[in-house]
Structure 1
Amino acid sequence: MTRTLILMRHAKSSWDDPALDDFDRSLNARGRASATSIGKWLNSNGYQPDAAIVSAAQRTQETYTLTAAELTKTIDVTFTPALYLAGADLILKTVQNQTGQSLLVICHNPGIADFANRITKSPAGHARFFDYPTAATTIIEFQVDSWQDISWKSGTANDFIVPRELDT
């Protein structure tokens, strides 16, 4: 059985208020446009998650809201503080505890880049895969019966996109 993981880094956030806690930073205009563009790209390519697990940080919640608004399927979403600046091991454990066929995970660097590199058998053939810029999204497929069965180097990176490629 195929399980599909849509792994997305939050979109570009604002640094306008230096007194604002990192957790509370919102998206800037470019970030809002990027999240919408990724949502449209996911929809046009048939990537419709059953569920989403999203860091509870403001910028990841906004990224999710704008991305999901472009999808046609209703998504069961959970916002969790545990994914705020989570490392690759915690992201793996979080994914392993999920159900459904297709899952959207939105969180932060450097954990998401490390996770993407470690979970795939070979990296996506894209120059930006290793630094995973804001709103970068990878589609990873696993041939497993359950999310619990995924492990390092078990996924296939089928697609990788950064928003700037959608703007051209």
Structure 2
Amino acid sequence: MALILIVLRHAKSGWGNPSLPDHARTLTDRGRRDARAVGVWLGARNLVPDLILSSDATRTRQTVADLSGGLGRDVPTEFLPSLYNASSDTIERTIRKQSVKLLLLCAHNPGIGNVAAALATEPPEHPRFDDYPTAATTVLSFDVDNWSDIKTGACLSFLIPADLKT
């Protein structure tokens, strides 16, 4: 049975209050709409995570909340301080410890984009994959039964919020 990993960068955040530390930055209105739209897109494809692992930063917490609103359901979520500005190695170690079948990971660049690139057998042909902008979402499938056994997986989808606007 295949394992599915959804790799999500947090949605658009702002620097509206320069006195806030980076960890406390919040989403912009656009970011909130984008996160919800990604949730709707995932739900329409029955890509509802069994578990969400997220950085504990304010902007990732808000991204997860708005994405869950778009999914139309609450998903078990763990907010991990270790995912705040984590390296790709730290993120991969976190993934490999999991036991669910469909996992969503929400974190920050450059780590989150590097993980998407490292775990995709072939990168998607999308002009924005390499810079992994806010709310970029990659869906990967691994032909293994345990996360500890993953190498690279098939890229089923990659999108940015602009792709959802018609």
Return the TM-score normalized by structure 1. Answer: 0.96
Secondary structure of the structure 2 residue equivalent to 1:69: helix
Residue by residue over 1:60-91, the C-alpha shift from the partner in whole angstroms, topping out at 9 and shown as x without a partner, is 00000000122245421100010001111111
**In structure 1, how many angstroms separate the alpha carbons of the residues matched to 2:146 and 2:107?**
22
**In structure 2, how many angstroms separate the alpha carbons of the residues matched to 1:3 and 1:125?**
22
Secondary structure of the structure 1 residue equivalent to 2:52: strand
The percent identity for this pair of structures is 42
**In structure 1, how many angstroms separate the alpha carbons of the residues matched to 2:73 and 2:5?**
16
Matched residue, 1:80:
80
**In structure 2, how many angstroms separate the alpha carbons of the residues matched to 1:140 and 1:34?**
20
Q: Which one-letter code corresponds to 1:98 in the other structure?
A: Q
**In structure 1, how many angstroms separate the alpha carbons of the residues matched to 2:73 and 2:140?**
19
Change (3 A) 1:73 1:3: farther
Return the TM-score normalized by structure 2. Answer: 0.97
Matched residue, 1:163:
161
How far residue 167 of structure 1 moved from its aligned partner, in angstroms, is: 1.7
Alignment of structure 1 residues 25-64 onto 2, 5 Å:
25-64=25-64
RMSD: 1.0
Q: After the TM superposition, list the runs of 4 or more consecutive aligned residues in structure 1 that deviate by more than 3 angstroms.
A: none
Secondary structure of the structure 2 residue equivalent to 1:35: helix
Secondary structure of the structure 2 residue equivalent to 1:117: helix
Q: Is the 8 A contact 1:142 1:156 kept in 2?
A: yes
Report the more deviating stretch, 72-81 or 156-165. Answer: 72-81
